[in-house]
Amino acid sequence: MTQKGPITILGVFVADTAYRAERQPRMGETILGNSFVLGPGGKGSNQAVAVARLGAEVHFISKLGEDAFADLALKTWADAGVTPAISRDPDSYTGAAYIFIEEATGDNAIIVSPGAARNIGPADIDAQADLIARSSVFVTQLEQPIDAALRALKIAKEAGVATVLNPAPAAPLPDEIFALCDYVTPNETETAELTGTPVETIDQAKEAGDKLLDKGVGTAIVTLGENGALIHGADGSSHVPAFDAGAVVETTGAGDAFNGGFAVALARGADPVEAARFGCATAGISVTRPGTAPSMPDLNEVEALLAR
């Protein structure tokens, strides 16, 4: 199917510093790690790379410093086919993240320092208002300030653009943001944070989904890791199972892969359930590879998995 218009993503780039070890060190303790990798990351940037790798037109709104990590960002986007819509702040730094990966499971723990992107404000969003308004899908997360996300969602909603909020990392949100979201895509932890309902079963995900709808969200899409995703709207619920594309190597970029795939399918006219299935397939491939942005699959790989 043909893409209706560009996908625009507001978010953060960070340089991922990824450490693999048997376990995390305790406070005051030093342990030896098994490996270290420096690579591109940040939820918004990862999602933009995922979209571009899937062959869709994507623009990424963010802010960088003037440093080597900014050079890494620009190269990452150029290689993937992401069009940057960025400003530079020479008085700050480009974001960075500490990622611990547990060797036995591939599970992770992360600290993000957004740097210059922490200073993205409504004025930066207004400078990109035309781009946002002519998009088919607008996506944002919560690594940049919430007032910037709120302003961008308002512009997109008023222009009739499909709006997706990936509420990660979990944070308190103003009540007005929910009605601006056609789709909200939290994982189990973020869903519990937003609704007060623990999510350990499909039924609990439905209960939490009802609470998100009551807040004004169009459709709640609760991502459930190895259990796929629940699509919960006013007309009912659908559960999309996860895809098994091979042994799990690292789960760090799975949520970003899902959101990127979901946005691409929406932009090409898929309904929410079809789009979530496409997102699950994208995520299913990404977890079989190390890294975040480098783990994102291309369109042929996702279509082959879906066909299988």
Element (H, E) at 252: none
The DSSP code for 38 is E
Tens digits of pLDDT across the chain (308 residues): 677 789 999 999 999 898 999 999 999 999 999 999 999 999 999 999 999 999 999 999 999 999 999 999 999 999 999 999 999 999 999 999 898 999 998 888 888 898 999 999 999 999 999 999 999 999 999 999 999 999 999 999 999 999 999 999 999 999 999 999 999 999 999 999 999 999 999 999 999 999 999 999 999 999 999 899 999 999 999 999 999 988 998 888 899 999 999 999 999 999 999 999 999 999 999 999 988 888 999 999 999 999 98
Output the DSSP codes for 129-153.
HHHHHT-SEEEE-SSS-HHHHHHHH
CA–CA separation, 91 and 11 (whole Å): 19
Centroid of chain to Cα 133: 20
**Residues labelled as active-site residues:** 256
Query: What's the whole-model pTM score?
Result: 0.92
Any idea which fold 7-12+43-61+118-307 has?
A: UDP-N-acetylmuramoyl-L-alanine:D-glutamate ligase (3.40.1190)
DSSP letter string, 68-114: HHHHHHHHHHHHHT-EEEEEE-TTS-EEEEEEEEETTT--EEEEEEE
